């Protein structure tokens, strides 16, 4: 079944088609939400909101790209929105200095090292972390990332490169260098 016929069925009120769309994409959306939030309840909320919003706005999908890309654009908007909300009510748990990792250190079985890595990833700004998580942790292609973020592929690649550089700096403790604003 093509994306277009699936969308058409849903717009005509076919509940089974809605569930088909959900089953096709829910794993990736939930995994991304969980990776970004690290919180089961928040990830579930973001996933639910993504599908609710997607079903509401499905008529706006123009069919000029894969439905999954469009759905992930909704998902990234929702996830980043949830993160912004959470940040407003939470203070930062750790400072940049806490994340430094010695070169050559082994991660296996070292809880402190794992914690440092977690903090380093969390230290990235949300847009760069999203690209890093999508590509390096969840295996999205550059094309998929570009579709999800509504940017050209080149921008997605550049953002990933900056995210990785920044992460490397944080892990080596070379000092905080602010990332440029996402274009």
Partner 1 sequence: MSDREFDELVDAMRENHNKPPQTPRDRMWERIEAARSERKIVRMPARPWYASTWVRAGLSAAAVLVLGIAIGRMTTTPDAPPMVADSGSTPPTVAVPTGEPAPRSEATTLVRHAAQNLFGRADVLLTDLKISSCSDTKSRPVPAWAGGMLAQTRLLLDSPLCEDVETRALLLDLELVLARIAGLSNVDCTGDVNRIRRDLNDNATLDRLRLAAAGQGMV
User: Which chain residues interact with partner 1 by CB under 8 A?
Assistant: 19, 22-23, 26-27, 30-31, 34-38, 40, 43-44, 47-48, 51-52, 55, 57, 60, 101, 103-104, 107-108, 114, 117-118, 121, 136-137, 164, 168, 171-172
DSSP codes, 53-78: HHHHHGGG--SSS-HHHHHHHHHHHH
Locus of tokens 């790209």:
65
> What b/e sequence results for 139-172 when a residue is b if at least 16 CB atoms lie within 10 Å of its CB, and e otherwise?
ebebebbbbbbebeeebbbbbbebbbebbebbbe
Min dist. Cβ of residue 101 to partner 1 (A): 7
Which residue lies nearer to partner 1 by CB, 8 or 44?
A: 44
Min dist. Cβ of residue 176 to partner 1 (A): 17
Which residue lies nearer to partner 1 by CB, 40 or 97?
A: 40
């Amino acid at each position: 079944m093509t994306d277009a016929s699936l969308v058409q069925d849903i717009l005509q009120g076919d509940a089974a088609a809605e569930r088909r769309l959900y089953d096709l994409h829910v794993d990736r959306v939930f995994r991304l939400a969980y990776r970004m939030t690290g919180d089961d309840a928040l990830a579930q909320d973001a996933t639910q909101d993504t599908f609710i919003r997607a079903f509401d706005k499905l008529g706006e999908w123009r069919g000029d790209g894969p439905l999954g890309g469009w759905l992930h654009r909704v998902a990234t908007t929702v996830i980043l929105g949830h993160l912004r909300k959470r940040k407003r009510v939470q203070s930062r748990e750790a400072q940049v200095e806490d994340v430094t990792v010695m070169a050559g250190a082994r991660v296996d079985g070292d809880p402190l090292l794992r914690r440092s890595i977690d903090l380093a990833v969390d230290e990235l700004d949300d847009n760069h972390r999203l690209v890093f998580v999508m590509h390096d942790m969840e295996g999205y292609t550059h094309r998929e990332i570009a579709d999800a973020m509504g940017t050209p592929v080149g921008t997605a690649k550049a953002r990933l490169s900056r995210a990785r550089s920044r992460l490397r700096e944080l892990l080596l403790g070379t000092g905080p260098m602010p990332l440029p604003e996402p274009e």
